[in-house]
Amino acid sequence: MPGPDRLSELLAEVAEGRRVPYLGAGVAALAGGQMPASPPELCAAIEAKVRAPKRARGNMWSVAQFVESRRFRKTLEAIVQEAFADQPAPGPLHRWLARVRPPLLVDAWYDSSIIEALQTENRPGWGLVQGVSRNGESHEIWTRAYDAALTLIGEQPDPDWEMLVYKPHGVIRPGHSFLMSDSDYVEVLTEIDIQSPIPDEVQNRRSGRPFLFLGCRFDDQMLRLFARQIAKRSAPGHAAVIAGDLTRMEARFMDELGIERLDLPLDAVVEALSTPV
């Protein structure tokens, strides 16, 4: 089974721009702090504020929909903004990625850690494109793009950016938007198979590059669906660092995408960052 040496090779490919890092919620946990670092943790934070019906409990998207429907969108936004208010300093993996600057980085969690790490580097030439909720929007919109100063430049990223950060579920950060409730995802899921919600520049930069999934679990249909569609038409040879037992659906998903699995804890990634290949 692949071990630390293989992990070092994969990270070297990320640093060389030949492999796309895809960050899941687990990477946020490396930074420590009280920030939610999984859908169940964020769901628990929401349920601590609003009692959800039994049928929805434990499902972040359904609980978010209940809050939005019964208490309005502003209530949901206030709850999750509070949950992410005390974000710790970026962790070692985020800082490393900010230094090596791969052409494309996908971050599938809601935190701002990679943004903070890039701002700390204080080097221009990068930008962010994020998924946005259509709640309250007056026109069809999938994404918004921001430059390194986090100035809104429009709906599509700049192809000239050295590094593009793609946050498909959005960012829980003042002034930004996020997808969380079932209604947020209705039109996205209708169109994602034909790639409409995925920016053209993301599609361009994934071409010819396989993915390295870090801090990801695929035990939820929503997480599998987004990973499948974002990795579509990229290069074969994906890999993932996932420790412990897989669920039946996770194992099937890994086989479907041909993902090489490294059964290692995420801490091993941090250790490998300073290990020569």
Weakest-pLDDT range from 13-27, 123-137, 232-246 = 123-137
Q: What is the pLDDT of residues 45-83, one digit of tens each?
A: 999 999 999 999 999 999 999 999 998 899 999 999 999
Q: Where are the strands (E) in the chain, listed by range?
A: 20-23, 104-107, 126-131, 143-147, 152-154, 163-167, 211-214, 239-241, 260-262
pLDDT bucket at 1, cuts 50 / 70 / 90: low
CA distances from 263 to 45, 71, 232, 239, 254 (A): 29, 42, 24, 11, 13
> Helix (H) and strand (E) counts for the chain?
12, 9
Q: In the predicted model, is pLDDT for residue 97 greater than 70?
A: yes
**What mean pLDDT is predicted for residues 236-250?**
97
Strand order in 239-241's β-sheet? 152-154, 143-147, 126-131, 163-167, 104-107, 20-23, 211-214, 239-241, 260-262
Q: What is the residue extent of each domain of the chain?
A: 4-32+88-272, 36-83
Confidence (pLDDT) at 34: 87
Q: What is the pLDDT of residues 131-185, one digit of tens each?
A: 999 886 667 899 999 999 999 999 999 999 999 999 999 999 999 999 999 999 9
Residues 198 and 159 sit within 8 Å (Cβ to Cβ): no
CATH 1.10.287 fits 4-32+88-272, yes or no: no
SS3 content of the chain, % helix, strand, coil (to 5): 40, 15, 45
Measured CA to CA, the distance from residue 152 to residue 176 in angstroms comes to 10
Confidence (pLDDT) at 138: 61
Q: In the predicted model, is pLDDT for residue 35 greater than 70?
A: yes
Weakest-pLDDT range from 28-42, 225-239, 242-256 = 28-42
- Percent pLDDT > 70 in the chain is 97
Q: In the predicted model, is pLDDT for residue 277 greater than 50?
A: no
Q: In the predicted model, is pLDDT for residue 210 greater than 80?
A: yes
Weakest-pLDDT range from 139-143, 171-175, 229-233, 252-256 = 139-143
Task: For residue 222, count CB atoms less than 10 angstroms from its CB and return exposed for 0-12, middle for 13-18, buried for 19 or more.
Answer: middle
**DSSP label of 153:** E
pLDDT bucket at 4, cuts 50 / 70 / 90: confident
In angstroms, how far is CA 230 from the centroid of its own chain? 11
Confidence (pLDDT) at 32: 80
Determine phi and psi for 232, rounding to 5 degrees. -60, 140
Determine the angle formed by the axes of helices 73-83 and 39-47, rounding to 10 degrees.
120
Higher pLDDT, 155 or 274: 155
Confidence (pLDDT) at 218: 96
Measured CA to CA, the distance from residue 144 to residue 127 in angstroms comes to 11
Average pLDDT of the chain, as a whole number:
94
Do strands 260-262 and 239-241 pair parallel, antiparallel, or not at all (unpaired)? parallel
Confidence (pLDDT) at 275: 58
